[in-house]
Amino acid sequence: MHTQLKLTSRPITVTGSLDLAALPTLRARLSGLPPGTRLTLNLSAVTVCDHRALGILFAAARRARRQGGGLHLVAPSDVVVKSLTATGLIRLLPVVADRTTDTPEPEIAKAA
């Protein structure tokens, strides 16, 4: 199964497997974002989540924060939550359980 990173409006929806084959695509899509980018990833349709993919997400979140932006994970699937918990990254990455919670509207935009 291939992973697709779709820019569907808000947030970016990630579908399929975040496995070894998907890592180059994930890294390429998350690297090189303009400074100040605020990025939200909907992970509800992720079926496999490799710990190396989480490392890429963590690095992207850290880079975004250093550059005045941010990265949030929305509605992670059970496999993503298990991987985040097993690695301890659940405490380090901003996670919103679902899109129905009262949170600010996530955006994919360069901060003003």
The CATH homologous superfamily for domain 4-110 is STAS domain (3.30.750.24)
- Is the entire prediction scored with pTM above 0.95? no
- Residue with token string 């998907």: 22
Q: Which residue has the higher pLDDT, 66 or 2?
A: 66
Tell whether the model's pLDDT for residue 57 goes beyond 90: yes
DSSP class per residue in 25-58: HHHHHHTTPPTTEEEEEEEEEEEEE-HHHHHHHH
Give residue 36's pLDDT: 86
The confidence score (pLDDT) of residue 10 equals: 60
Q: Work out the average pLDDT over 22-33.
A: 88
Q: What is the mean pLDDT of residues 29-42?
A: 87
